[in-house]
Amino acid sequence: MPRIRTVDGIHMSYRLSKSAQVRWQGGTIARREAVFVRIRTADGRTGWGEIGEVYFDPELYVALLNRRVREFLIGRESAAIESLHDALRIRLVPLGYAGMARAVLSGVDLALHNLCPPARSAPLAVPVYASTGFHPHLDGLTEECERAVALGFRLVKIRGGFSVREDVRRVKRARSSLGADVGLILELGQPYAAHPYAYREVERLCAAIREWRVAWVEEPFWPEDIRAYRRLHRRGLTPIGAGENLYTEEQFRMFAGVLDVCQPDLTRMGGVTAFRRIARLCRALAPHQFGGSVALLTTCRAAGALRNLWAVELDLLPNPWREQIFGKSNRLSNGKLNVPPYHLADFDPKVSLSK
């Protein structure tokens, strides 16, 4: 088996134009920040991974990769992915079981899986949903929804969390803009809210939007508030989705019974190895993926053939690294993303920015 020769964390940044920037519960997205993981083996192969949503401080992830993880991995057998995954997870325990430690583990896991050509090299069509609906005003929200439909999406996510009354107005306007045949998701993003909703507010909101056929309400509570999720699930007002802020297989096992839609993020919860372990627990899968390029491709390949896949998240903001892999257009057909047989050994994030 080829052994690992080098491990590198690489931080890349791309500033969005003023018109492309968006505000959400967590602040303003003004830049694309990406931390890529590159692993090379003694026989000359290269595998790329990616760590998701590194906006807080990308260089922290790079430092951990290059100062601590690198020395642990060099010389080990690259094909022993599951044992490497578990060994590195234990190695990072002093940093905690979630957050940064699990994200770094995820980036390494993706790179190890991408060392080998994908088992399916033919083009793949994967259902996706548009991650949009940020604009705080209804007219701007309408434009975002209409753009998503024009691009070929059949499922669209908008943002809520403004107030119960305003969220109801936004759902009503979005449904009017999308028409009856396009699915609608409402993200509340409560883990990021400065003033999160009380349980009764969430319940009232879910009851008020039933008539507009929401596919699911996303993250209505704090990530670990299993009691609130269980209580809302029993009410059966609307389907519930969550998972981007769950990090371990144990957490997904706990929440699988109270979520109608599980939304694991392969760049945050352990990579392909962990995803394969938890996918079978979930009723329906809609993997979270915001800002990914290498991660988006890997997610599509890992989830594309699963029977319980509903859709993979796809944001509409500019992304030069994603364009290198998928092309400048999203290439949607009937709500599905045409995933190219792209070999990640050819990937070069610096080339993307230079174009």
* C-alpha distances out from residue 138 to 158, 159, 162, 325, Å: 11, 12, 12, 34
Per-residue pLDDT tens digits for 227-284: 999 999 999 999 999 999 999 999 999 999 999 999 999 999 999 999 999 999 999 9
Judge whether residue 188 has pLDDT over 90.
Answer: yes
Pair type for strands 46-51 and 31-41: antiparallel
Nearest residue to 62 via CA among 4, 109, 100, 10: 10
In this structure, whether the domain defined by 124-354 belongs to CATH 3.40.50.300 is answered with no
Task: Determine contact, residues 321/62, Cβ cutoff 8 Å.
Answer: no
Question: What gap in Å lies between CA 137 and CA 270, rounded to an integer?
Answer: 37
Q: What is the distance of C-alpha 210 from the center of its chain?
A: 26
pLDDT at 330: 62
> For the stretch 203-223, what's the b/e string if a residue is b when 16 or more beta carbons lie within 10 angstroms of its beta carbon?
bbbbebbeebebbbbbbbbeb
Per-residue pLDDT tens digits for 300-345: 999 998 999 999 999 999 999 999 999 877 679 899 999 988 888 8
How many CB atoms sit inside 10 A of residue 233's CB? 16
Task: Determine contact, residues 193/25, Cβ cutoff 8 Å.
Answer: yes
User: Taking the domains of the chain in order of start, what are their residue ranges?
Assistant: 4-113, 124-354
Nearest residue to 158 via CA among 186, 189, 128, 179: 186
Residues 6+ apart with CB under 8 A from 44: none
Q: Which CATH superfamily does the domain covering 4-113 fall into?
A: Enolase-like, N-terminal domain (3.30.390.10)
Nearest residue to 321 via CA among 124, 32, 116: 32
* C-alpha distances out from residue 196 to 25, 222, 223, 236, Å: 10, 8, 12, 21
What does pTM read for this prediction?
0.94
